[in-house]
Amino acid sequence: MKGLRGLMATALVTASVMVGVILPGVQAAEPYAASHLVRALPSEARGRPVEVHYWYPTAETQPVEHFGQGKLFNPVEVIPDAKAAQGSFPVVLLAHGGMRSAFIHTGWIASALARRGFIVVVPKPPGGRELQAADAANELLLRPADLSLALTALKGIEPLSSRVDMTDVNGVGFFLGGTSMLSLAGAGFDPEGYRQSCNAQGINIDCGWLSSQGVDLTTLPDDFFAQNTSDARLRNLVVINPELTSVLEPGSLESIAVPVKLISLSKDAKSPLAPAAQLDNIQSYSAVNIASASPFSAFSECTELGKKILQAEGEGELCQEPGGRSRAEIHQQLIDEIVAAISAGPSK
């Protein structure tokens, strides 16, 4: 997984430019355009505000801004701070990426779901330069807490408070974000399994970074793992290659009562991103493998310049699809799979 680690150093260089220049109006996508606003929410758990991005459907078509503008990856179009479309819309909690991923990669999926008629709630975790290795384990608890905090605040966020259907809350998570979603549904870590996750291959994708910074997971106390991160408001989950699934406690997986759909973008059974067999313990569980994809398929589409830069730096695989399909085609399949799953859950 050299490429994934390399991205953390490379993509974050461009992640600081989040929104570009206002452009002339464009036609709304099907059936809405995507709007976007940002709020800072006080967090007792973190001791500082959490930046939360709210994406939502709008009938407005201008002005247009670009979210995620940079050299390496294509941005997405968004109508900033627009009036929300008429109606009542289901909610998607979204967490995309690993421990140190660039936040720009949330844009393609968040905007697509907003255009499909969902209010999408995306807390921004600490970035790669901000996050210290000594604090990494705490993120396993803090990121689910951020999601719950952002969901609770939604009823007070204008112009969304009168448009949100809080009886229809769903979770979508990629990589460590998928692990956060499973935690919200009731999954917990096996203490000894996580403590030993860097003493075996194919479990913890962050071991190289943690080791280089002198972090020893074996010293984590038992009470660290006793904290409850569940949130009963979730109705359906879609997780894409969630991390650390082999060190989740089997009994906690059996207790998950909401439907969980897993989408796998990794054909390597020994990869830290490969789903563990014990996920079958989840009561209502289904799995889909997209054989023509790789974990990099979950990133934003690369610019032509980005392809050249990353190829020159030995990271060309970040822009390549192994099955001959375009990233846009794989994104569309992911969007369709996600929407089908979160639209077909149990009756409310």
The whole-number pLDDT of residue 20 equals: 41
What amino acid is encoded at 276 in this protein?
A
Q: Which residue has the tokens 């020159």?
A: 312
The reply to whether 16 falls in a domain is yes
The whole-number pLDDT of residue 15 equals: 37
The reply to whether 348 falls in a domain is no
The reply to whether 156 falls in a domain is yes
Query: Is 130 a residue whose pLDDT tops 50?
Result: yes
**If you average pLDDT over every residue of the chain, what do you get?**
90
Q: What is the mean pLDDT of residues 222-233?
A: 94
Q: pLDDT tens digits for 91-119?
A: 999 999 999 999 999 999 999 999 999 99
Q: For residue 32, what are the contacts with CB-CB under 8 A and spacing of at least 6?
A: 57, 58, 59, 85, 114, 115, 116, 117
CA–CA dist 240, 294 (Å, integer): 11
The whole-number pLDDT of residue 344 equals: 77
> What are the DSSP calls for 6-66, one per residue?
HHHHHGGGTTT--B---B------SS-EEEEEEEEEEETTTTEEEEEEEEEEES---SBEE
The reply to whether 347 falls in a domain is no
The whole-number pLDDT of residue 128 equals: 76
Q: How many domains does the chain have?
A: 1
Q: For residue 13, what are the contacts with CB-CB under 8 A and spacing of at least 6?
A: 72
The reply to whether 268 falls in a domain is yes
The whole-number pLDDT of residue 345 equals: 56
The reply to whether 202 falls in a domain is yes
Could you tell me the pLDDT band of residue 271, with boundaries at 50, 70 and 90?
confident
CATH of the domain at 163: 3.40.50.1820
The reply to whether 172 falls in a domain is yes
The reply to whether 203 falls in a domain is yes
Q: Is the Cβ–Cβ distance between 74 and 66 less than 8 Å?
A: no
Tell me which residue of 156, 159, 150, 185 sits closest to 171, measured CA to CA.
185
Q: Is the Cβ–Cβ distance between 42 and 25 less than 8 Å?
A: no
Q: What is the mean pLDDT of residues 289-313?
A: 96
Q: pLDDT tens digits for 158-194?
A: 999 999 999 999 999 999 999 999 999 999 999 999 9
Domain that holds residue 250: 2-342
CA–CA dist 287, 198 (Å, integer): 27
DSSP 84: P
CA–CA dist 44, 131 (Å, integer): 18
Task: Give Cα 212 to chain centroid, integer Å.
Answer: 26
Strands in the chain per DSSP E? 33-43, 48-58, 65-67, 76-80, 89-96, 119-123, 164-174, 234-240, 260-264, 285-289
